[in-house]
Structure 1
């Protein structure tokens, strides 16, 4: 009607958020139409959809995933279960998952756990059932536990496992990161520079990624005729502090120090930098260092660290995208995210 004033509503505030009824009233459509637009139904005209979506953005309306789960008898929550000491890895993984969920109806909830605790699988079961999760992304080291995967199969919860190598056959979906190949590329690079006295700082032996990276590195050296002595291999814990302890053993505790060190992640490489600086060992003139992950830390160290980029954000994005596809969709059950070496300034040929 001409001259009729359009109803308005102030932006939503934490005290009084807009509801689906408000959206229906202000847009002049039914609540059912708004619901269809939220759930991306094709039964709504394009102009109506655009108008209602613009209004939802204007007032800051966001559908409650728990309430939608009750209405549709399914959850719009994706869980991420992890036990990993590297904070940056978990942050990057979450960013990737959120990238995939951004244009969907799903939200992310996280569940840190201690896989060494005897009751952790029961804790994950409670998390899944209490949140009524649509599915779960399992991050190393939790993803490597077949008993956890079997429990999720038992209760009928979908999951995607992120792992360095293909795991049990009854896993429905996997994202493989091929850690062995990344470590082999690091070994080939150090050999190409002329290094023959090389040391390795590994992650914890309980992690499958440690096994894959260690064997990938050692086997690549062996293929080129170099056998890595046991005293040049030092186990650490994927942390800065454990990298410091391992570097002290390798650089200060032996008569002849190596000319190059490969570490299982960038945090431990930073520990090597700390010990080298204190001991007056110049990187890269006297010691070449290669890390793994290519986390933001790698480019912030001085000199910038050569590191194997394992595409963590892409991995999280891929894992989430696989999980939110309809169960009957014809999608790949196994995806690959391949690492590659990023060369910076932390390596050069050995001085002598």
Structure 2
């Protein structure tokens, strides 16, 4: 049986959001004439016939934005929410949040779509690791939901994406440790099914390849982005006969765990071992010693994602297209790293 064309097919062919197509279907005025003509021609070419649900997409607006997340890091989530609500406040929107369990779950996409329907939101912001599920964007497209993903990899068209350049930043941090004279560098990774885990680990590997150095795979340990996994990995590393001279924990929470493991092992940071992290959470500069880390501008990224989403909701696709899609990260050099003794 031949598949009938959908609103997603029209939007994809015209390079616009599904909500923009819905506005044309509903006769809304806030669509540029040239865009309207293009969409109408594509509707005719595809012989698309909108169903009642599609016709109702642009009929009303709730001024509610949804946030979907599965993130155990409370500090990161708090920063994201502040970035979103700050932009919402100036634009007349409110935020509805929806935690979900993505790890090992095959219902997260259905759960997300159910949340969209129940909450009557105008658009959706999705955080990793949920945002990095390959099946999610097509499902949101088909459902006619405007969305922006925060992610560490290019999964969708840039108009729907705010991506942090995590692989490059981790390569830069590892290069910094190498330039300090370190060769026995340990790496504590995140959960194996997170895209960010793979990106950060590959950045670590890239630096060794670029420097022509052999990488000791035994010094790569698995964590879960939580404090206790960093503490456990630190204990394992400090119990080795040949201890690493530097440890790169792939987020700050795990780096704080390494700090305590080092103290209990009678090791001084950075005199005996250099330690660095990723995120630059608020406590990173308040520890003793202060933590060398990678600053991910989460507040600015959340604000940018919200601006993009509101532009899509309001039919200003051209504005959303011009907005930044890839956000560079910054090395913050503090007191927890030093030259190898």
TM-score, normalised relative to structure 1: 0.77
Q: Is residue 207 of structure 2 the alignment partner of residue 224 of structure 1?
A: no
**Residue 87 of structure 1: CA displacement?**
1.2
Q: Using the TM superposition, name which of 223-232 and 136-145 deviates more.
A: 223-232
Deviation of 1:332 after TM superposition, in Å, equals 4.0
- Which structure 2 residues correspond to residues 146-295 of structure 1 after superposition, within 5 A? 146-169=134-157, 172-252=159-239, 254-295=240-281
Match of 1:331 in 2: 319
2:300 is matched with which residue: 305, 314, 325? 314
- Structure 2's unaligned 5+ residue stretches are 1-58
Tell me the residue number matched to 2:10.
Answer: none
Say whether the 8 Å CA contact 2:188–2:223 is kept in structure 1.
Answer: yes
CA distance in 1, matches of 2:179, 2:325: 31
How many positions carry a matched residue from both structures?
A: 280
Superposition deviation, residue 177 in structure 1: 0.3
Please tell me whether the aligned partners of residues 190 and 223 of structure 2 are also in contact (alpha carbons under 8 angstroms).
yes
8 Å Cα contact 1:303-1:346 kept in structure 2: yes
Compared with structure 1, are the counterparts of its residues 332 and 141 closer, same or farther at alpha carbon in structure 2 (3 Å cutoff)? same
- Structure 1: which 5+ runs fail to align? 1-71
Which structure's relative contact order is higher, taking Cα pairs within 8 Å and 6+ residues apart? 2
**1:142 corresponding residue in structure 2:** 130
Q: Aligned to 2:76, what secondary structure does the other structure show? A: helix
Q: CA RMSD in A?
A: 1.7
Cα distance, 1:172 vs structure 2? 4.8
Query: Matched residue of 1:159: which SS?
Result: strand
1:125–1:329 distance in 2 versus 1, CA, 3 Å = closer
TM-superposed CA distance for 1:173, in Å, is: 0.9
* 1:122 CA drift (Å): 1.8
What do residues 168-193 of structure 1 show as CA deviations (whole Å, max 9, x unaligned)?
A: 45x75100101011101111111111
1:93 is the counterpart of 2:83: no
* 1:344 matched to 2:330: no
Instruction: Select which of 109, 113, 131 maps to 2:100.
Output: 113
CA contact (8 A) 1:276 1:283 kept: yes
